[in-house]
Amino acid sequence: MPQVGFTDHFFKGLEALSREEQNRVREAVFAFMQDPKHPSFKLHRLEDIKTDRFWSARVSKDLRLILYHHPEMGWIFAYVGHHDDAYRWAETHQAEVHPKLGLLQIFRVVEEVRVEPRKIKPLLPDYPDDYLLDLGVPPSYLKPLRLVETEDQLLGLIEGLPQDVQERLLDLAAGRPVTLPPKLAPSEEWFKHPLSRQHIHFIQNLDELRQALSYPWERWMVFLHPAQREAVERVFQGPARVTGPAGTGKTVVALHRAAALARRYPEEPLLLTTFNRFLASRLRSGLQRLLGEVPPNLTVENLHSLARRLHEQHVGPVKLVKEEDYGPWLLEAAQGLEYGKNFLLSEFAFADAWGLYTWEAYRGFPRTGRGVPLTARERLKLFGAFQKVWGRMENEGALTFNGLLHRLRQRAEEGALPRFRAVVVDEAQDLGPAELLLVRALAQEAPDSLFFALDPAQRIYKSPLSWQALGLEVRGRSIRLKVNYRTTREIAKRAEAVLPKEVEGEMREVLSLLQGPEPEIRGFPTQEACQAELVRWLRWLLEQGVRPEEVAVLARVRKLAEGLAEGLRRAGIPVVLLSDQEDPGEGVRLGTVHSAKGLEFRAVALFGANRGLFPLESLLREAPSEADREALLAQERNLLYVAMSRARERLWVGYWDEGSPFLTP
Ligand SMILES: Nc1ncnc2c1ncn2[C@@H]1O[C@H](COP(=O)(O)OP(=O)(O)OP(=O)(O)O)[C@@H](O)[C@H]1O
């Protein structure tokens, strides 16, 4: 089979078609590859349009494939769409080998511009043509670029350029440093160049084509950003991580990396894990799409169920106790000590999270960030109380979940548990020390064995911690993503505005190439008024043809979400709780912000972005120290960010009385 390429434009066109049309297109592509000259395709060159390299092939009465014929490579599927749309695309796009980069670019034709006599104030400094060409700007864009005066004009002009060129121009306009793209080396084949692979997906053989055709195609499956590709393909000599704001494709990287590792280590046990059961099942279906099936040597399981399973298999049955069970024991054991309940519970949880079960371990362990300082004597007294609780747990044959994780870790370190050749962790920002130490112990000590995907600004369960202290040094092996593939620029900007400019030592840098309506942030006199407007908004969305399952309504606390569910149902809006996701029915998704972690929706409404809910007043009141309060505040801020950044196209935020202070940075 000759090699065949598919452009990112083709995938965009395909995504806009109905499932049935997509199937027709897939069949047509396959048939075309067997016999492009088959009369049913009525293959012809589009002579009458400006750039005469595109061809049209008929899929059905109304669907057309637009192709480009490359002298060496053969056919490249450039676009697909309904007849008029496809022809319009062909008329407004051109394919050209870039004079400096030496790579084929497919981009929107720019109108010829005449310089007007009036004086203009250009947005971009007067860079020499050569420099702009080095950045990958097509020659026809040089003049129009010089006439751009505002950011909006720039966005409008460059919208149709290859994504990598857009990124560089936006960085340039924002005064950020720009790295020149690598040119094609004389001996390099252009289709293997990373920039070509970012825009054109080449399929080499029939098997690949068959596989590609048997699954719904989505762009994330084939077009990786060069930074994503590096995170996926690099061989890391130690623990490594990918970070980036919401929607930059960290989960996509985790999936591709797991798939790449499965190819690299086909005979060895591998693990792809994440925070909860639901996210793990999403990873599993992502892998099925990517690979056809989950390879037998790759376990995909959330960390908690993996730990339980390993304990049951290798140690014995599990009986867990929670804070509500051991809390009273702790208060009893600590009688006579002058500490409040909240501090006792939080100090116990701290020792438990770090596995400080012996006096030697607890005695000198750094309590940085704990807020309340303790003398050695005080530590000893507290430890005495903790020991009583642990003793009681032992008598009952029970342990905390962290206790279980530490016990397993110990077994793994002793060599009593099977180890994975490599472990990939998604949503790693919410893993605590016990979980991270277990992950480390479950991975072999070898290159590639530990990879984490995380965004510190989405930490909503745990306090920040030093990875170095856990033996996870990632310096030199940390890749940052900044291109947001999910959210429009307008929404991304508003969501990032909730956060400080720098989170845990990393500047928040995000670049979205998608445009859409401004998010609506609205205050109401009462909860009822807010709900009534939400109902109106939801009805309007559904009338616009947005499917109910593409919409999420989120609230800070469960009670509020549940009350709202009733209200929405009464108003005739079908609702499915996010917590019932294993078996979703028809309806708008509704739940707490926590339950929307890692998910995305076409439209998101946040109900009750009030002062008192963000941050949650009742939670802050319980904070045993100023330091704990600060940590909670950061988590609450992150929660608001998580809620807002779930939205792809539309975001609606409603509050009553007074809005969250996080909304006014
Ligand atoms: N290279 C890509 N090409 C096209 N789409 C992509 C690409 N990478 C990611 N996406 C899309 O962007 C969206 C966000 O991706 P993903 O969920 O992996 O981001 P994330 O960084 O894990 O987000 P979050 O931090 O919010 O969980 C998804 O719809 C995904 O399909």
Q: Assess whether the C-beta atom of 430 lies below 6 angstroms from ligand 1.
A: no
Measured CA to CA, the distance from residue 52 to residue 91 in angstroms comes to 9
Residue whose CB lies within 8 A of the most ligand 1 atoms, among 251, 496, 499, for a mutation test: 251
Q: Assess whether the C-beta atom of 244 lies below 6 angstroms from ligand 1.
A: yes
Mean pLDDT per segment of 10 residues, for the chain of length 665 residues?
Answer: 83 90 91 88 81 85 94 89 95 92 92 68 89 96 92 91 94 90 86 87 79 74 91 96 96 97 96 93 92 93 96 93 95 91 93 95 88 89 96 95 96 95 96 95 96 94 81 92 94 95 85 92 97 98 94 97 95 89 80 93 98 94 86 94 97 97 88
Residue nearest to atom 6 of ligand 1 (CA): 220
pLDDT of residue 504: 84
Measured CA to CA, the distance from residue 425 to residue 440 in angstroms comes to 11
Measured CA to CA, the distance from residue 133 to residue 139 in angstroms comes to 7
Are the C-beta atoms of residues 78 and 46 closer than 8 Å to each other? no
Q: Assess whether the C-beta atom of 486 lies below 6 angstroms from ligand 1.
A: yes
The atom number, within ligand 1, closest to the CA of 455 reads: 25
As to burial, measured by CB atoms within 10 angstroms (0-12 exposed, 13-18 middle, 19+ buried), residue 524 is middle
DSSP letter assigned to residue 420: B
Residue nearest to atom 16 of ligand 1 (CA): 249
Measured CA to CA, the distance from residue 253 to residue 480 in angstroms comes to 11
Q: Assess whether the C-beta atom of 229 lies below 6 angstroms from ligand 1.
A: no
Measured CA to CA, the distance from residue 101 to residue 171 in angstroms comes to 19
Taking the model in full, what pTM does it have?
0.91
Residue nearest to atom 9 of ligand 1 (CA): 249
User: 3-class SS at 665?
Assistant: coil
Radius of gyration, alpha carbons of the chain: 28
ipTM topping 0.90: yes
First CA to last CA distance, the chain? 58
pLDDT of residue 581: 59
**Six-digit token string for 252:** 């996509």
Q: What would the 3-class secondary structure string for 251-290 be? A: HHHHHHHHHHHHHHCCCCCEEEECCCHHHHHHHHHHHHHH
Measured CA to CA, the distance from residue 642 to residue 88 in angstroms comes to 38
